[in-house]
A and B are shown apart, each in its own frame.
Chain A
């Protein structure tokens, strides 16, 4: 192989192309949304939510406590008993359709706020997060009056009040994943968004108001983990739906053991993305990029372990490095940005800790050249090569743009390595051979397996994990089942 190097640094630089923020009217202060009203927190306390790209304050968010959670659960119970559980599926569906349409109408606003509050590139919030959130409402709106057909002869019934806790990586989308099926099945909701990214969930509460949703059907309480714990431990809650870390998931499971509360937990992951020598390599590289650098790697199903067949290792690594040179890290509001800001200072510290650890463990690091902004939280896309299964950067979820690369020789070795993790959320397989896809995917212990693509989401497709990645499914028919009980 010759020494020629493709150089993607260009004199033809893209001019800044910033998404306008002039249509955004954020309030200075956001209260709690309980029983259809905006209620001041009983503690009187508020906390700041910041833009991770500039470290500037965006708004004050109410800090809920036990009393507020209790009020919210009671409001949800009242709404369940008096209105929502009495409505026909068809009527429930109408409200959900209305929410979906208003999300579409306010899509541009939601996308910009999601990007301001969370740091993700506007390209992703505009093209993925917000449209998918609307699609989830559309999809489940359609099921609301067809539950008997979804589960024939099983007499599906709603559960009651669902306590829902969402993560900071896809704030609005995760709220949609949780609220849409819950409402379609006839439940009411108390939802707590992550404390660093509450804004779009609060806008969603506004949208529920705008849609005329009966008071108390959706309640939003804001705050940190302690507020989540109050929801989990509240006697009036019939079901917990949690998306977040495996550590917290374990605490929740302990807390609800011995109670009647049902649960779905969608937790961490350390997905293997397996590239065979017969794969379409350029497209596999694109899939690797999308698998690990999508949303700065803040994705529970991120393809954070790359397993490459040794015969194509050099080529894949070369192509990967070349492709990384054209990734633009910077202002999330710029339409050309590929990798935005890390969600918070503490997450950046976690990622940097793992990068340091990787180096200390003797792995070889690669990051493309280029400078990062001084202000804000940033991390370059990062590769580690020369790693082994025993390295912590291979075993533990980093939740950042850091990829650990290993090689394998045989299919058996690839499968063993892929499954050798406490997690089991997702995996990817790249090969041109159909039979190999079926062979490998049927042996991977992961809830979602992509073949020749990665990080593709659709409301009709169930999502959830094996092992310590949690249990229960969201999305598709399976997602309905998590919000129903059956009388047989």
Chain B
């Protein structure tokens, strides 16, 4: 690939200072989001959720329930938005697609030997095709972290480009960097740049299978990469932190990061997603608290 070398040279120039990132994050987390602003933020967050189940123990019924939940988050609360997407393994894509018909909710499928990514390109393409054939609207791929750490950035780049090619124009590709395995914020930045230049539509922090998953500092580094890329190319890239975001307060911190780094243009589920399984219920509890003045028992919210 002709462009690759140029890009690798470019991306080596951007360095990240961990202490500075921490300072900026603490400014953001000190923002106080109250009353109307809080309700607006929480509804926005609900609408950005990729409601996720990625377990060996997933069953047909569980996926069905999850799809229903995505469409009817809490019927007791009027005018709630739906989630953005349901995120499942490729073998459940067909089922989810059928359940969500007409709801406007997308089906996202993980692919490319999720979560480790330890397989050949052929297998990864086949895996992706399986999800696409079943009707996936979005594909969440993982990068080859081993190759990245070995310095084979071209391999990582080409692999992402190939999977994007497989997805085609209409299926959005989210590229999971698995930042918890990258070792430094400099590497997070480098992997973000590779993923964007290789054609990803979204960059995503984590599989949710290893710890640490998404963190605010990592997300800030990725948002800044998206910003620079936007200025450089005019192409808007989406962001998806995933894993470990299980309460409303944290979700609002993430949204505040987006607001102050990229602005309103990114504050829609077209360009920002939360990969989460338990966040929705916590937000619902907070919304009910704002509406009724009282916290309600967790038992009033369905666990799916």
A-to-B contact residues, CB < 8 Å:
1-4, 6-17, 123, 127, 278-284, 286-287, 290, 318, 322, 326, 335-336, 432, 452-453
Q: Which 4 A-B pairs have the closest CB atoms?
A: A283-B20, A17-B32, A280-B17, A2-B234
Q: How far is the CA of A10 from the CA of B267 in the complex (A)?
A: 9
B38 contacts A by Cβ under 8 Å = yes
Q: Which of B257-283 touch A at CB < 8 Å? A: 259-260, 262-265, 267
For residue B215, give the distance in angstroms from its CB to the closest CB of chain A. Answer: 16
Which residues of A have CB within 8 Å of B16?
280, 282-283
Which residues of B have CB within 8 Å of A284?
20
27 residue pairs of the A-B complex, CB under 8 angstroms, read: A1-B231, A1-B232, A2-B231, A4-B230, A4-B231, A6-B262, A7-B263, A9-B264, A12-B41, A12-B44, A12-B267, A14-B32, A15-B33, A17-B34, A279-B15, A280-B20, A282-B20, A282-B24, A283-B17, A283-B24, A286-B23, A322-B227, A326-B260, A335-B32, A336-B32, A453-B19, A453-B20
Cβ of B263 and Cβ of A15 under 8 Å apart? no
Cβ of B17 and Cβ of A10 under 8 Å apart? no
Q: Which of B218-275 touch A at CB < 8 Å? A: 224, 227, 230-234, 255, 259-260, 262-265, 267
Q: How far is the CA of A69 from the CA of B303 in the complex (A)?
A: 72
Which residues of A have CB within 8 Å of B20?
280, 282-284, 286-287, 452-453
Query: Given A283-B20, A452-B19, are A123 and B264 neighbors across the interface (CB < 8 Å)?
Result: no
Q: How far is the CA of A12 from the CA of B259 in the complex (A)?
A: 8
Q: How far is the CA of A322 from the CA of B21 in the complex (A)?
A: 17
Which residues of A have CB within 8 Å of B35?
15
Cβ of B224 and Cβ of A282 under 8 Å apart? yes
Cβ of B259 and Cβ of A452 under 8 Å apart? no
Chain A's closest residue to B44 (CB) is A12
Cβ of B264 and Cβ of A336 under 8 Å apart? no
Which residues of B have CB within 8 Å of A432?
15, 17
Inter-chain contact count A-B, CB under 8 Å? 98
Query: Given A4-B231, A283-B24, A335-B30, are A12 and B15 neighbors across the interface (CB < 8 Å)?
Result: no
Chain A at the B interface: mostly helix, strand, loop or mixed?
Answer: loop
Q: How far is the CA of A6 from the CA of B16 in the complex (A)?
A: 21
Q: How far is the CA of A280 from the CA of B31 in the complex (A)?
A: 24
Chain B's closest residue to A338 (CB) is B27
Cβ of B264 and Cβ of A7 under 8 Å apart? yes
Which residues of B have CB within 8 Å of A123?
30
Which residues of B have CB within 8 Å of A283?
16-17, 19-21, 23-24
Q: Which of B41-77 touch A at CB < 8 Å? A: 41, 44
Which residues of B have CB within 8 Å of A326?
259-260
Q: How far is the CA of A14 from the CA of B33 in the complex (A)?
A: 6
Cβ of B263 and Cβ of A10 under 8 Å apart? yes
Q: How far is the CA of A123 from the CA of B265 in the complex (A)?
A: 28
B299 contacts A by Cβ under 8 Å = no
For residue B35, give the distance in angstroms from its CB to the closest CB of chain A. Answer: 4
Cβ of A10 and Cβ of B264 under 8 Å apart? yes
Q: How far is the CA of A148 from the CA of B230 in the complex (A)?
A: 61
Q: How far is the CA of A381 from the CA of B224 in the complex (A)?
A: 23
Beyond known contacts A278-B13, A452-B20: 10 more, CB 8 A cutoff: A4-B234, A6-B231, A6-B265, A7-B264, A8-B259, A12-B255, A322-B227, A335-B31, A335-B32, A336-B32
Q: How far is the CA of A28 from the CA of B11 in the complex (A)?
A: 62
Cβ of A8 and Cβ of B30 under 8 Å apart? no
B1 contacts A by Cβ under 8 Å = no
Which residues of A have CB within 8 Å of B267?
10, 12
Query: Given A127-B30, A286-B24, are A14 and B234 neighbors across the interface (CB < 8 Å)?
Result: no
Chain B's closest residue to A5 (CB) is B231
Which residues of A have CB within 8 Å of B30?
123, 127, 335
Which residues of A have CB within 8 Å of B34?
14-17
Q: How far is the CA of A6 from the CA of B236 in the complex (A)?
A: 11
Q: Mark B3-25, 1 if CB is under 8 A from A, else 0.
A: 00000000001111101110110
For residue A253, give the distance in angstroms from its CB to the closest CB of chain B. Answer: 37
Cβ of B32 and Cβ of A2 under 8 Å apart? no
